[in-house]
Amino acid sequence: MSTAPPGRARRWLRESWSRIREPGTVPDLGRLAVGASVVGAITGLAAASFRVLLTDASRLRDELIAWGHLHWWGISLVLAVCGGATALAASLVHRVEPHAEGSGIPRVEAVIEGRTEPGSARILPIKYVGGLLSIGAGLALGREGPSVQMGGNAAIIVARLTRSSREHLQILVAGGAAAGLATAFSAPIAGGVFVLEELVKRFEPRTTLATLIATASGFASAHLLLGESGSELDTIAFRPPSFGQAPWVLLVGLLCGVLGVGYNALVMGGLRLADTSRIPVEIRAGGIGVGIGAIAWFAPWLVGSGGNLTQSALLGQGTLGVVLGVLAVRIVLGVVSYAALTPGGLFAPMLVLGSHLGLAVGIVADQLDPHAPEAAGLALIGMAAFFTASVRAPVTGIVLASEMTGSTTLLAPTLGACAVAMLVAMTMRSEPVYDLLTTRAVRNARANRREAG
């Protein structure tokens, strides 16, 4: 009985394993599906617990402020807690894991594009704890950025444990990012669309598969902590749109386009000041936290990620003076908070600005035009249009606004406003904010490698 030489057998095994690992084969897709489901489950638990703890932190902050008003020295305690928490968050980023800074979405985008190395597993815990500290302290930052980066980092950990290829890792990172955003906003479709439209910038079948599986798995695991979750935000029942309302809708798109471009410039300007500042990171962040605490002492509803403000706008609540005042204050708070260089996202603050700009137009329209759309409807349209102008991801903006409110009545006018906002941003030659931040993240990563080497 003849047997194959050992060398030939080894060669046959290597060739067989190579064929199994080839992209698009059944075994490869199976491995990808399993990996994406594991990444989604981890991300869902991390993002859901992060969301729950942030809600508790906001409640504790409000209770501390209410208790502090009963004592003459209460304001000192509030300022110390807010400043200390922000300084500690900045210190964790600066001294332990610099790649956990800011939104985290730009770094995930850079990893997916292959422009930077995946990074350390430390990113996930530092992002988690730092985000709780900074957003819990009242900084005008969102939970979605940290959730996206935690999902991406969970994918990196799983890919390394399973010794996946670099391409496989990048696909899993995209899936984890989608699961993180979907869980943060209870918007599964928007999570997947954002990753494909903004981070990957193409509808590639394997990436789409991983994104869908990770998002579904993430939602299932998040359900264990969040339970049944309906729409993220409530709004009124809207009248069907009509052509007579078009001028007001287009005006919202125009104003959102201009303000979105300006906001991007302010955010990047604030980061340039922070990058060139000689003030120690902890002291600078602590000072910002103290300032946020002072605002919270007098108006606790103004600080934090701003979900309560977006909610009130979507119900059409507020006078023109108050709405414009909130808009102005939140622009400043958003820029200053992001310049603290602590973990925290840009999505939620953008939704506050867009909804209030739309609401302001709606209040004026209501006084001048009896056939004008509801102010709350223009607030919803403003959410999507401002996001489109800043991020340049119109499909995500439209889907996100619809999913978060559970309303599809205004899809057509929202599409028109987003088109105008995008046209304005492109005409003004403004780069999308995440493209700008990704370039900065890549540059900082290279600088960190040179310092470490």
CATH of the domain at 87: 1.10.3080.10
Boundary of a domain, candidates 226, 257, 288: 226
Would residue 242 be called left, alpha or beta, if left means φ above 0 and alpha means ψ between -120 and 50 degrees?
A: beta
pLDDT tens digits along 101-125:
999 899 999 999 888 888 899 999 9
* Residue 141 maps to a domain: yes
In tens, the pLDDT along 251-286 reads 999 999 999 999 999 999 999 999 999 999 999 999
Could you tell me if 300 and 423 lie in one domain? Answer: yes
Which structural domain, as residue segments, surrounds residue 391? 243-441
Both 188 and 247 in a single domain? no
Question: What type of residue sits at position 176?
Answer: G
* Same-domain check for residues 327 and 379: yes
Q: Are residues 249 and 222 in the same domain?
A: no
Q: How high is the mean pLDDT of the chain?
A: 90
Same domain, 248 and 311: yes
Is 16 exposed, middle or buried (CB count within 10 Å of its CB: 0-12, 13-18, 19+)?
Answer: exposed
- Would you state the pLDDT for residue 1? 44
**Residue 6 resides in a domain:** no
Q: Is 345 helix (H, G, I), strand (E, B) or coil?
A: strand
Q: Which pLDDT tens digit goes with each residue over 281-330?
A: 999 999 999 999 999 999 999 999 999 999 999 999 999 999 999 999 99
Please, are residues 218 and 43 in contact by the beta-carbon 8 Å criterion?
A: yes
| Structural domain count of the chain | 2
Asked if 42 and 99 sit in the same domain, the reply is yes
- Those residues whose C-beta lies under 8 Å from the C-beta of residue 404, and which sit 6 or more positions away, are 185, 186, 187, 190, 231, 232, 233
Please check whether residues 115 and 59 belong to one and the same domain. Answer: yes
> What's the confidence (pLDDT) of residue 13?
53
- Is residue 302 in some structural domain? yes
pLDDT digits (tens, 9 = 90+) for 142-178: 999 999 999 999 999 999 998 888 888 999 999 999 9
Q: Is residue 284 part of a domain?
A: yes
In order of 19, 55, 147, 182, the CA distances from 224 in angstroms are 39, 17, 17, 15
Furthest C-alpha separation in the chain? 97
- Tell me the mean pLDDT in the region 416-444: 94
Please indicate, yes or no, whether residues 35 and 103 belong to a single structural domain of this protein. yes
**For residues 314-349, b (16+ Cβ closer than 10 Å) or e, as one string?**
bbbebebeebbebbeebbebbbbbbbbbbbbbbbbb
Phi, then psi, of 142 in degrees rounded to 5: -105, 165
Which residues in 203-239 are b (16+ Cβ under 10 Å) and which e? eeebbbbbbbbbbbbbbebbeeebeeeeebbebeebe
309 and 179 together in one domain: no
245 and 371 Cβ atoms separated by less than 8 Å: yes
The answer to whether residue 168 is domain-embedded is yes
* Residue 329 resides in a domain: yes
pLDDT tens figures, 377-428: 999 999 999 999 999 999 999 999 999 998 889 999 999 999 999 999 999 9
* Rounded-to-integer distance, Cα 129 and Cα 210, Å: 27
Q: Confirm if 120 and 97 have CB atoms less than 8 A apart.
A: yes
Q: Which of 178, 195, 226 is the last residue of a domain?
A: 226
Taking 60 as the threshold, does the pLDDT of residue 16 lie above it?
Answer: no
Both structure tokens of 54:
């942030």
Residue 149's pLDDT is 95
Instruction: Return d(Cα 198, Cα 347) in angstroms, integer.
Output: 13
Q: How far is CA 163 from CA 37, 80, 166, 174, 333, in A?
A: 17, 46, 9, 17, 43
Q: Let me know whether 296 and 399 are in one domain.
A: yes
- In-domain check, residue 125: yes
Domain boundary among 183, 198, 226: 226
Q: What is the pLDDT of residue 10?
A: 61
| 429 and 398 housed in the same domain | yes
pLDDT tens, position by position, 177-192? 999 999 988 888 898 8
User: Does residue 47 sit in the same domain as residue 188?
Assistant: yes
Assigned domain for 216 exists: yes
Predicted confidence at residue 445, as pLDDT, reads 78
